[in-house]
Amino acid sequence: MSTLNLTKSDLPQDVLKIIEARHFDPFSVLGKHSLEDGSNQEIVRVFIPRARAVFLNNEINNEKSDQGIELQRIRETDLFQWQGPKGSIPDRYQIVWYDSNNQLHQMLDPYCFSPQISDYDIHLFGEGRHWHAYRFLGAHACTIEDIEGTLFATWAPNAERVSAVGDFNQWDGRCHPMRGLGGSGLWEIFIPGVDAGALYKFEIRNRDSHSIHLKSDPYGQCFQLRPSTAAIVPSHDNYTWCDENWMEARKNTDWLHSPMSTYEVHLGSWKQNEQGRFLTYKELADQLAEYVEYMGFTHVELLPIAEHPLDASWGYQTIGAYAPTSRFGSPDEFRYFVDHLHSRGIGVLIDWVPAHFPKDEHGLARFDGTALYEHEDPRKGEHRDWGTLIFNYGRSEVKNYLLSNAVYWLEEFHIDGLRVDAVASMIYLDYSREEGDWIPNMYGGNENLDAIDFLRHLNEVIHGLGTGCLTMAEESTSWPQVSRPTWLGGLGFSMKWNMGWMHDTLVYMGKDSIHRQYHHNQLTFGLLYAFTENFVLPFSHDEVVHGKSSILYRMPGDKWQQFANVRLLYTYMYTYPGKKLLFMGNEFAQGNEWDHDNSLDWYVLDYEPHKGVQSLVRDLNHTYKNQPALYKHEFDSQGFEWIDCNDSTQSILIYVRKSENEVIVGAFNFTPVPREGYRIGVPERGNYQEILNSDSVHYGGSNMGNNGEIKSDDIPWMNRPYSINITLPPLAGIILKYIV
């Protein structure tokens, strides 16, 4: 081993910073450089902790070599250097070194590569307008100048030093400090020989406090299975998609006037194997697609599928926003899942969470030692209720992180739409806050202007892709024009969850039938605003957790009445204006609350009442899809007319759903008292066929009904020129179709 007669005290400051692992631009010191003293000399510096001896080898393709030019160690350091005539060392060279155990290592020097992120990418990212930032940020196995390795890049503007660490360098932040790219806050390094499958994180030293943080990659596309938290260098995208026809058809789908019935699913608890193990993406693809197709749903909506450390968060506290969770398999296996559902004619939506992120030490929280992705002031930057942090939507790079993430899921995984979670918490500065615990906007109001601007931008970007992707807002207040175009002053979402209708309906249905007459307005009020937005009618996971009980056991009465009420509720929902959404288990009236740790109670389908509800939901889905009057004008008042909304005494509702060439009548009895000989007005003379009756014995009902067809009478009734005499079964809804 050769040692220079130099000590640390003899070294210039920039070289000392390398030894102390605090250099902003290690490429200015490490690697090969010409001396600036006017001589024809050049110098090569290498910093390798734990090295005993280091050599340079000009033959970069040798599989193994211990020959070459020996570098000299600077005394008391792990810095080695060589100095000699220019041209002695090629631009690309091998570093050959022996560790303290005399084991041979060999690698191309990462510090002989030029910057790989273009000025154009840096510029767009800084402006918050780079929709594909995930293509250069994170870790990407790639080939540069015929040399294979991995490009690492991250954003940490307040860092003094950032290093790529992993199983390729014993997690030692001194080994591969990254290059800071000017004032952009971006850092990068290409490390030859690091292949797909390598584990990695970023080690970040803060500029002010000099504290060191070990962080997961915000743009990481694959992670270890929890509780481990390292990212994994993803393999090259080798997946071959087979859904070209689906994707092309989606571009031209008139979703405003098409049926949309969504099955909301938590993949970890939809179904598990006999040992209680999660099903894989491939197993889920086969089984879920078969079930959803059988049940007649048009879409599935997945609770957040991005990587998250805590099962109990259901995915809503995301750490790896760019990575399908490894609980069920690899990213390519998730691609197969989506592809397979598309092949069965089923759309795939995902819950997307830009409202907040968890405080986990390895995540985004104080990423570079400062409040980078969040706000410093907890009055703006923290959700007290959830124990999470709020994104700083006013920062261009943070908006870029979120916007690029949305595009990533849509383009890289062919997702058909995003349901944006907790929109109300984003747009109100005082959301769930006490007086004095929030900061008004510049005009003194409670609107989060940055979040509003971000949401509008998000929707403009997604709809501007021209791919037919949808966005849906879970927005629980009366904020106007959520699903109206941004150029009209709206937020630009395709649709909005109708939380008011859901709440009023479930409260009404939870009342004993004898008391419902006093709360009739809870059913009728929703039609005053039903067409102010493009509404989705959701009975979601939130309604069957946290002590709310299941849908079944929220219903009053004895066991028969509870099931009858569930059947009535769903029949009412499927005829009411708006797209449909049911959380898994609701479709067969599971009795227990949803438990994210365990499979649904599929065994209850051995019992006829549960099987009857499942059969009803299946028939409702197919009826809904096959009758244009039920979906053609769901967002337009021309598709709905009241026949009678005033019979509160008997708790009966009757209305018409219609399209250009079809008339459907829905009649609903919200009491257990049968109504025989009940006359209702109808808009047309002719025959009306009973196409669905929730009281059918097939569904577990009492089998009262109207024996197929009913002929109209020329008797004006309810301000209609014609009328029919019908039987309204107890706690039931019937659907009648005009057939001339």
Token duo for residue 401: 């992180």
Catalytic: which of 421, 533, 587, 619?
421
Peptide bond into 227 cis (omega under 30): yes
User: What phi and psi values does residue 109 have, to the nearest 5 degrees?
Assistant: -70, 120
Burial of 537 (0-12, 13-18, 19+ CB in 10 A): buried
Q: Is the dihedral of CA 544, 548, 550, 552 positive or negative?
A: negative
- 717: which DSSP letter? B
Q: What is the largest CA-CA distance in the chain?
A: 113
Burial of 396 (0-12, 13-18, 19+ CB in 10 A): middle
Burial of 684 (0-12, 13-18, 19+ CB in 10 A): middle
- 436: which DSSP letter? T
Angle of CA points 527, 706, 553, to nearest 5°: 55
Q: Could you report how far apart the first and last alpha carbons of the chain are, in Å?
A: 100
Closest CA to 344 of 240, 270, 246: 246
Helix (H) or strand (E) holding 130: none
Q: Are 112 and 138 in contact (CB under 8 A)?
A: no
Beta strands in 394-476 (DSSP E): 417-420, 470-473
Q: CA-to-CA distance for 42 and 36, rounded, in angstroms?
A: 9
Number of H helices, E strands in the chain: 14, 37
Angle of CA points 490, 491, 492, to nearest 5°: 90
Q: Measure the CA dihedral 487/468/477/426, to 10°.
A: -80
Give DSSP secondary structure letters for 494-518: SEEE-HHHHHHHHHHHTS-GGGGGG
Neighbouring C-beta atoms of residue 240, cutoff 10 Å: 8
Chain-centre distance for alpha carbon 226: 18
Torsional class of 136: left (φ above 0), alpha (ψ -120 to 50), beta (otherwise): alpha
Q: CA-to-CA distance for 619 and 3, rounded, in angstroms?
A: 83
Q: CA-to-CA distance for 589 and 591, rounded, in angstroms?
A: 6
Q: Where are the alpha helices (DSSP H) in 308-355?
A: 331-343
Q: Are 135 and 403 in contact (CB under 8 A)?
A: no
Token duo for residue 32: 């090969």
- 554: which DSSP letter? G
Q: Are 207 and 305 in contact (CB under 8 A)?
A: no
Q: CA-to-CA distance for 53 and 3, rounded, in angstroms?
A: 10
Known catalytic residue at 474: yes
At 223, is the secondary structure helix, strand, or coil? Answer: strand
Residues in Cβ contact with 484 at an 8 Å cutoff, skipping those fewer than 6 apart: 490, 491, 492, 533
Q: CA-to-CA distance for 124 and 133, rounded, in angstroms?
A: 9
Q: Are 97 and 16 in contact (CB under 8 A)?
A: no
Q: Are 117 and 188 in contact (CB under 8 A)?
A: yes
Closest CA to 356 of 318, 322, 410: 318
Known catalytic residue at 421: yes
Structure-token match 């393999």, residue found = 235
Catalytic: which of 474, 504, 533, 543?
474
Q: Which residues are part of the catalytic machinery?
A: 421, 474
